């Protein structure tokens, strides 16, 4: 045996060894992941953005005896569609992450079993969109234009405040937005313009916005990290667009994930350009652990979870008694009059709005 083959043989043996170990790890896992009836495990299915701190999940276990297992599957749209495909024999007990732009799709498909969560009286009334309690509101977030503070300070120019402002010549070629067909902030921004200018007026608005040099990219990652000059990624990429469609909570995130932390957020929010997203959770039809699922829904609107949420998912609580963290109150923007569109109206027209948007702006 020459050295190469000897080496190779050792590598193969090592590989087999590790594989066996991995296999063992897996089977242990499976034993603890049992989700049968009366099980002590409750499974939460969600999208990739779901996060909760370990301490809070442990507190839930201590309180109720149920252990939470989380399954994340893609972005919000993909996660919901997977639930629709597996309807009736769901992978989990509770689904979290359907928002008002997709709510009707979930409800029309009969995804959820009604359950009125305990403590719902503490939840903002205008977020409770389903009278039958098939879904429970958990958080809200605002999709708004963000601006690069440094750019506008250097140019001695006021940042835009409203949808109308974005059409002004002073802001020509400054805004980057996302594809409304593939990106949820992109869709939110489009819906914001529909809410503001009406179902016919929005097309005219976008024509003007296009003439004013709006740039469209496919996803939030590219828009925010590669095109927007105010973000950490954009600075490295020498980005040149000081306006981007993002979230009202983006400025606090820029502060939180900077080292050292600045005393002021590098970006600001144009509060007159916001569209409100409300995210819901619901008990899945056919859930194997219904009792656990109900307990989890109660917990999602409890003060403890609601206060943990902002710094994990960068959204706002819906419970009136939940206090926002200082990071949010200090660096975040409060949006007084966000644009909204009725979920049923969205369900009926989404495709058509997006299609005419595409032919106006993209093609």
Partner 1 sequence: MAVPVAFFALFFAYPVVAIVGRGLKAGGDWQFGRIGTVLSRPDILDVLWFTTWQALASTALTLLIALPGAYVFARFDFPGKQVLRAVVTVPFVLPTVVVGTAFLALLGRGGFLDELWGVRLDTTVWAILLAHVFFNYAVVVRTVGGLWSQLDPRQEEAARVLGAGRFAAWRRVTLPALAPAVAAAALMVFLFTFTSFGVVQILGGPAYSTLEVEIYRQTAQLLDLPTAAVLTLVQFAAVGGILAVHAWTVRRRETALRLVDPAQTARPPRGAGQRALLGGVLLTVLLLILLPLGVLVERSFDTSGGYGLAFYRALQSVDANGSTFLVPPLDAIGNSLRYALVATLIALVVGGLAAAALTRRAGRLVRGFDALLMLPLGVSAVTVGFGFLITLDEPPLDLRTSWILVPLAQALVGVPFVVRTMLPVLRAVDDRLREAAAVLGASPLRAWREVDLPLVRRAVLVAAGFAFAVSLGEFGATVFIARPDNPTLPVAVARLLGRSGELNYGQAMALSTILMLVCAVSLLLLERIRTDRSGEF
Q: Site residues for partner 1, window 18-57 (CB under 8 A)?
A: 18-19, 21-23, 25-26, 29-30, 33, 35, 43, 48-51, 53-54
Return left, alpha or beta for 92; rule: phi > 0 is left, psi -120 to 50 is alpha, else beta.
Answer: beta
CB of 254 to partner 1, least distance (A): 6
Stretch binding partner 1 (CB under 8 A), from 16-24, 130-138, 276-284, 289-297: 16-24
Residue 108 or 126: the one with the smaller Cβ distance to partner 1 is 108
The residues in 117-176 that bind partner 1, with binding defined as CB under 8 A, are none
Stretch binding partner 1 (CB under 8 A), from 163-171, 218-226, 292-300, 338-346: 218-226
Alpha-carbon span 169 to 125, nearest angstrom: 40
| # of chain residues touching partner 1 (CB under 8 A) | 80
The residues in 165-204 that bind partner 1, with binding defined as CB under 8 A, are 179, 181-182
Alpha-carbon span 285 to 92, nearest angstrom: 10
Do residues 97 and 82 touch, judged by C-beta distance below 8 A?
Answer: no
| Options 42, 101, 104, 105; binder of partner 1; rule CB under 8 A | 105
Phi and psi for 13 in degrees, rounded to 5? Answer: -60, -45
CB of 216 to partner 1, least distance (A): 5
Q: Hey, what are 160's tokens?
A: 């835009």
Residues 6+ apart with CB under 8 A from 89: 286
Stretch binding partner 1 (CB under 8 A), from 123-131, 159-167, 214-222, 277-285: 214-222
| Options 13, 16, 37, 170; binder of partner 1; rule CB under 8 A | 16
Q: Does 213 bind partner 1 (CB under 8 A)?
A: no
- Residue identified by tokens 């009366």 is 38
Q: Is the link from the previous residue into 260 a cis peptide, with omega within 30 of 0?
A: yes
CB of 208 to partner 1, least distance (A): 19
Residue 25 or 114: the one with the smaller Cβ distance to partner 1 is 25
Helix (H, G, I), strand (E, B) or coil at 355: helix
Residue 81 or 113: the one with the smaller Cβ distance to partner 1 is 81
Residue 7 or 153: the one with the smaller Cβ distance to partner 1 is 7
Residues 6+ apart with CB under 8 A from 176: 214, 215, 216, 217, 223, 227, 228, 241, 243, 244, 245
Stretch binding partner 1 (CB under 8 A), from 114-122, 195-203, 217-225, 279-287: 217-225
Q: Does 250 bind partner 1 (CB under 8 A)?
A: yes
Alpha-carbon span 148 to 136, nearest angstrom: 36
Q: What x/- string results for residues 286 through 325 when contact with partner 1 is judged by CB under 8 A?
A: -------------------------xx-------------
| Options 64, 203, 231, 289; binder of partner 1; rule CB under 8 A | 231
Strands 112-113 and 67-72, by their bridges, are unpaired
The residues in 53-92 that bind partner 1, with binding defined as CB under 8 A, are 53-54, 70-75, 77-78, 81-82, 84-86, 89, 91-92
Element (H, E) at 330: helix 326-331
Q: What angle do CA 158, 161, 167 make, to 5 degrees?
A: 90
| Options 204, 221, 321, 342; binder of partner 1; rule CB under 8 A | 221
Distances (CA, A) of 140 to 43, 249, 304, 332: 23, 11, 17, 14
Residue 107 or 117: the one with the smaller Cβ distance to partner 1 is 107
CB of 193 to partner 1, least distance (A): 17
CB of 48 to partner 1, least distance (A): 6
CB of 75 to partner 1, least distance (A): 8
Alpha-carbon span 350 to 289, nearest angstrom: 34
Alpha-carbon span 244 to 264, nearest angstrom: 19
Comparing CA positions, the residue from 142, 134, 124 lying closest to residue 301 is: 124
């Amino acid at each position: 045996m020459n050295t190469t083959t000897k080496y190779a043989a050792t590598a193969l043996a090592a590989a087999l060894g590790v594989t066996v170990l991995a296999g063992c790890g897996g089977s242990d896992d499976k034993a603890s992941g049992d989700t049968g009836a009366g099980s002590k495990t409750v499974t939460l299915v969600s999208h990739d953005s779901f996060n909760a701190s370990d301490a809070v999940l442990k507190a839930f276990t201590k309180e109720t005896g149920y252990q939470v297992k989380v399954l994340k599957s893609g972005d919000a749209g993909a996660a919901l569609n997977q639930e629709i495909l597996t309807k009736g024999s769901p992978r989990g007990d509770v689904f979290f992450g359907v928002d008002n732009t997709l709510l009707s799709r979930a409800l029309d498909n009969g995804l959820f079993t009604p359950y009125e969560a305990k403590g719902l009286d503490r939840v903002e009334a205008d977020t409770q969109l389903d009278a039958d309690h098939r879904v429970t509101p958990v958080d809200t977030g605002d999709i708004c234009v963000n601006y690069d503070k440094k750019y506008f300070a250097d140019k001695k120019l006021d940042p835009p405040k409203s949808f109308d402002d974005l059409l002004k010549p002073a802001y020509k070629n400054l805004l980057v937005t996302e594809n409304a067909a593939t990106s949820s902030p992109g869709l939110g921004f489009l819906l914001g313009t529909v809410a503001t200018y009406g179902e016919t007026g929005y097309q005219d608005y976008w024509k003007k916005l296009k003439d004013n040099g709006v740039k469209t990219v496919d996803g939030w990652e590219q828009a925010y990290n590669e095109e927007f000059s105010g973000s950490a990624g954009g600075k490295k990429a020498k980005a040149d667009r000081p306006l981007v469609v993002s979230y009202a909570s983006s400025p606090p995130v820029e502060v939180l994930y900077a080292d050292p932390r600045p005393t002021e957020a590098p970006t600001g929010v144009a509060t007159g350009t916001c569209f409100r997203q409300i995210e819901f959770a619901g008990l899945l039809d056919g859930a194997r652990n219904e009792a656990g699922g109900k307990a989890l829904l109660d917990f999602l609107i409890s003060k403890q979870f609601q206060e943990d949420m902002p710094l994990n998912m960068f959204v706002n609580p819906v419970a009136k008694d939940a206090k926002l963290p200082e990071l949010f109150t200090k660096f975040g923007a409060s949006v007084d009059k966000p644009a909204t569109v009725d979920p049923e109206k969205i369900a009926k027209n989404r495709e058509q709005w997006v299609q005419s948007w595409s032919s106006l702006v993209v093609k």
